[in-house]
Structure 1
Amino acid sequence: MTRPARPTRDRRATGFFVGFLVVALLIAGGLSYFASSDPDGLDSVTLEGCSVVETDAGEQLEGTCIARNAEDHALGSGPLADYAVDGADGTVGPAGVIGVLVTALLAGGLFWLLRGRGTPPDRDGTSGS
């Protein structure tokens, strides 16, 4: 009776990364709906000392907070701005999934470019092992 072959290191690493990606997608796509829609700590601190007033032109800050000096970000109107797909309400899950996939593709591409190319030869010209 032969014993089953043990998975190779590459196979185990691939399984780990696939599992990691699945968990990240579940968290980004599912748990993001439970995230608070209130401003985070940094936003709250920058708004201290101001009040938001509705005007004909939209919301305006009045007071002495540091947020009055803020400017719109160059990518503030991008497709995933404000953690939503094209600014639509209820799309934080798909935005999270897209973010995870883009990050995984960029990181995977970078790792692929920087990976080692096998074992280097020993001094006598034979491959190491």
Structure 2
Amino acid sequence: MNRKTWTFVVAGLLLALALAALVSPFASGDPDGLEKVAQDQGFIARESEEPAWKWSPWPDYWSESEDGLPTPLRKAAAGVIGTLLVFGVGYALARLAARRRASGA
């Protein structure tokens, strides 16, 4: 990767991280689209006894303080961590694709 491309990627990552940190605290606490449909159609009560996200580091993308309310810093951290994870997976896939192309596979 040449210097110009690398600079563009790093600048894009920094912009995405800044947006994730600054915008995440203002994200809505309302259910997402799938949860909303499940509530409207009445089948949300049929969810499993033990949700899949129970053992997640941050269940349901949520982290609460001692008073039960999310703190802006924790929501910002969740946004930054998510952005880094997506970037890392995308970068790894791009490197793998470049390696396969270079080897002629």
Fold agreement, TM-score > 0.5: yes
Question: Relative contact order (C-alpha < 8 Å, sep 6+): which is higher?
Answer: 2
How many corresponding residue pairs? Answer: 94
Unpaired segments ≥5 residues, structure 1: 1-8, 50-64, 121-129
Structure 2: where are the runs of 5+ without partners? 65-69
* 1:17 paired residue number: 9
In proportion to residue count, which structure has more strand? 1
- Structure 2: which amino acid aligns with 1:29? A
RMSD, matched Cα: 2.3
CA-CA distance at 1:37 after TM superposition:
0.9
1:98 matched residue in structure 2:
81
Which structure's CA Rg is the greater one?
Answer: 1
4+ residue segments displaced more than 3 Å: none
With the length of structure 1 as denominator, give the TM-score of the two structures. 0.62
Q: Percent identity?
A: 31
Q: How does 1:1-129 map to 2 (within 5 A)?
A: 10-48=2-40, 65-71=42-48, 72-84=50-62, 87-88=63-64, 89-90=70-71, 91-115=74-98, 116-117=101-102
Deviation at 1:73, TM superposition (A): 3.3
The Cα offsets for residues 47-102 of structure 1, whole Å up to 9 and x where unpaired, read as 137xxxxxxxxxxxxxxx11111124323330132223xx3322111011111112
More helix by share: 2
